């Protein structure tokens, strides 16, 4: 499974990119607004940090303007993926942009039917929002399972499932078990994936035993 970092914090993205474990980035207007910087400048800088897809979201609601915004964003860098909402106009924009060879991430997906339409429209990625469904008392992982089953039923559907609105390491694990192609994860959750109390306990014991030997490697 690929890991995208869900962030517009250039410093955080740079730190994670140095590990070689990050395959791309997702942003949205809300994340960029937190930086207090110009939207286009932030997106362009992020694209220079990572080689993989960087999702930059349109802000228009009608398909015509979405397409125009998408083309402008695409001009920022070769690794831009245009992010459009899962609305009727968003699907029309997705079809037009994908037909031109542009990567498109269809976001705010909350049903398997929506995901099927996005795939038919040529989406590169579909972003089902796990956490927001959980917030409503539903099971967000069930949606990932449904989409995986539908996409696997048809060889002609090449859209990648990008598990989004991830809140915990358990969301990441379940997404991987189900077979999501990508998980877009907040930086702090990505770091939490590497931690376990037994790892810390074992390392502490090793270091204490090593200290008793009085030796050094260097």
Closest to 11 (Cα-Cα) out of 171, 34, 100: 34
Class of residue 109 by CB neighbours under 10 A (exposed 0-12, middle 13-18, buried 19+): buried
Give dist(CA 148, CA 99) in Å, integer.
Answer: 24
SS3 138: coil
Closest to 99 (Cα-Cα) out of 126, 116, 117, 124: 124
Can you state the angle between helices 88-99 and 63-74, rounded to 10 degrees?
40
The DSSP bridge pattern shows strands 2-6 and 182-185 to be parallel
The DSSP bridge pattern shows strands 160-163 and 125-128 to be parallel
Which residue numbers are catalytic? 83
Q: Which residues pair with 184 in a beta bridge?
A: 4
């Amino acid at each position: 499974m690929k890991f995208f970092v869900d962030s517009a914090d250039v410093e955080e993205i740079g730190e994670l990119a140095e590990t070689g474990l990050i395959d791309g980035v997702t942003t949205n207007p809300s994340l960029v607004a937190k930086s207090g910087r110009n939207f286009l400048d932030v997106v362009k800088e992020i694209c220079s940090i990572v080689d993989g897809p960087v999702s930059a979201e349109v802000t228009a609601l009608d398909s015509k303007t979405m397409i125009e915004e998408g083309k402008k964003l695409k001009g920022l860098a070769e690794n831009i993926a245009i992010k459009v909402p899962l609305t009727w106009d968003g699907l029309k924009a997705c079809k037009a942009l994908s037909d031109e060879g542009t990567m498109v991430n269809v976001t705010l997906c909350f049903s398997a039917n929506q995901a099927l339409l996005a795939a038919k429209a040529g989406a590169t990625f579909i972003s089902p929002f796990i956490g927001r469904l959980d917030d409503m008392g539903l099971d967000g992982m069930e949606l990932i399972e449904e989409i995986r089953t539908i996409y696997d039923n048809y060889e002609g559907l090449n859209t990648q499932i990008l598990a989004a609105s991830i809140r915990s390491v358990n969301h990441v694990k379940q997404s991987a078990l189900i077979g999501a192609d990508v998980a877009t994860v907040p930086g702090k959750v990505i770091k939490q994936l590497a931690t376990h109390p037994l790892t810390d306990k074992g390392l502490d014991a090793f270091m204490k035993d090593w200290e008793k030997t009085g030796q050094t490697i260097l």
